[in-house]
Amino acid sequence: MLRRIFILLLLISTIVAILQFFKIDFAWHMRLALNTDDLSIDPRMASFFIVRDHPMGLAYFSVTYSYQMLVGFAAILSCLIAGNSRHAFYSFIIFVLGLILTFSKSAIGAVFISFMIIKRNFVDKRIKIISLFVITVTPFLYWLLASPNILNNLSLNRLTHIRVGLDVILDNPYGIGWHDYAIFSSPYFQQFNSSSLFLQQEAVHNAYLLPIINFGLITILPIFILIILTFRRIKKIKESNLEFWIFFAFYFMTYVFHIFFHNSGPFSGDQIFWVMFAYMASSLKVFKKRNNT
C-alpha cells in the first residue's frame, strides 16, 4: 500500500516536471508555491525559476528530483515485473520520461547498471522487452531533450572534485570540521591548473567523501557498516517476497551509485534514504512474522 502511495505522489511530481520542461507557467508556479525560502537571498535557486532549463517537479531542487525518480522507478519496476498492476506499464513510460528529464547522467547510469543486474535474475519475455525499451529509448530521448546549456554543464569534471577531495582527506585525516570546504580546497585546485572559479566554489560532489572530509577517516566505518547492513537485509527479503526485493534492491543499487556524484547522502542531509531504509527494515520484520505464523 505504501509503495503505491509513493508511486502516486511521485507520478504527480513527474507530470509536473514534464509540464515544466515544456515551460508551462502553471507547473512552475506549483513548485514556487511550495517554496518557503526568500529567493532574493538565494540567487542560484531564483535562477532555476528564471531560466527554467532544469525541471524539478515538486521537489526542492533538480537534484532532489533525481533522488525521487530513483524511488519511483524502483517502485513501478517492481510492480511491472510482478504483473500486479494493469496500469503499471503506462506509469513506467511516464517515469522513464521523468528520469530522462532529471538530466542526471549518474541517475540514468545507475538505472542502467541496476537494471542489468536485476534482469539477470529473470528469463521472462516481458523483462526482455522492458530491457530493450530502456536501453534503446532512454539514451536517444536524453540526447533529444537535453538543452545545449545542460550538455555543456555536463563537461564539468567531477573526477577533479573527487581527486581534490581525496587530497584534502590525506592531508587532514581527522577532518576539517565545519570549515568552508570551498575556501579550504581552493589551493588544491591549483595543481590541476583550474582557472574556473565556479568549479572551485563547488562542493566535493561525492556523498561518501563529504562526511570523511568533515569528520575524518573514522567516518568510513559507519558508511561501510550501513551499506553492508542494508544489502544483507535486502537479501533476506528476497526469500519472502520477490516483488519487494526488486523494489528495495533496485532502489538501493541505484542510490549507492548516484550519490557517488552528488553531495546529498545518508550522512549529509538526505531524508529520502532514511525513509526507504525504515520502510525496508519494517517490511522485513513483517515478512518474518508472517513466515513464523
Could you tell me if residue 52 is left (phi over 0), alpha (psi between -120 and 50 degrees) or otherwise beta?
left
Q: CA 131, 133, 135, 141: dihedral to nearest 10 degrees?
A: -160
Q: What is the pLDDT of residue 149?
A: 46
Report CA-CA distances (Å) from 75 to 50, 156, 185, 218. 32, 32, 39, 34
pLDDT of residue 37: 67
Same domain, 145 and 212: no
Domain around 251: 157-293
- Same domain as 149, residue 62: yes
Same domain for 143 and 15:
yes
Residues 146 and 163 occupy one common structural domain? no
Residue 270: closest CA among 67, 85, 115, 102: 67
Residues 36 and 137 both lie in one domain:
yes
For residues 112 and 211, state if they share a domain: no
pLDDT at position 86 is 64
Per-residue pLDDT of the chain (293 residues; tens, 9 = 90+): 677 888 889 999 999 999 999 989 999 989 888 876 666 666 777 777 888 888 999 998 888 999 999 999 899 888 887 766 667 888 888 998 899 888 888 888 888 888 877 777 654 555 555 555 555 555 545 544 554 444 444 444 677 788 888 888 999 999 998 777 877 888 887 776 655 555 555 678 899 999 999 999 999 999 999 999 999 989 888 878 888 998 999 999 999 999 988 888 998 889 899 999 999 999 988 888 877 76
Do 192 and 232 belong to one domain? yes
Residue recorded with cell 519475455: 125
Q: Are residues 209 and 236 in the same domain?
A: yes
Same domain, 122 and 12: yes
Q: Which of 107, 136, 155 corresponds to the end of one domain?
A: 155
| Helix, strand or coil, per DSSP, at residue 265 | coil
SS (H, E, C) 140-176: HHHHHHCCHHHHHHCCCCHHHHHHHHHHHHHHCCCCC
Q: Of 93, 125, 155, which marks where a domain is finished? A: 155
Residues 88 and 203 in one domain: no
> How many domains is the chain built from?
2
The residue among 124, 155, 186 that closes a domain is: 155
Residue 215: the pLDDT is 92
Say if residue 33 is in the same domain as residue 104: yes
Do residues 194 and 221 share a domain? yes
Query: Which residues make Cβ contacts (< 8 Å) with residue 149, sequence separation at least 6?
Result: 51, 53
Assess contact for 207 and 272: CB atoms under 8 A.
Answer: no
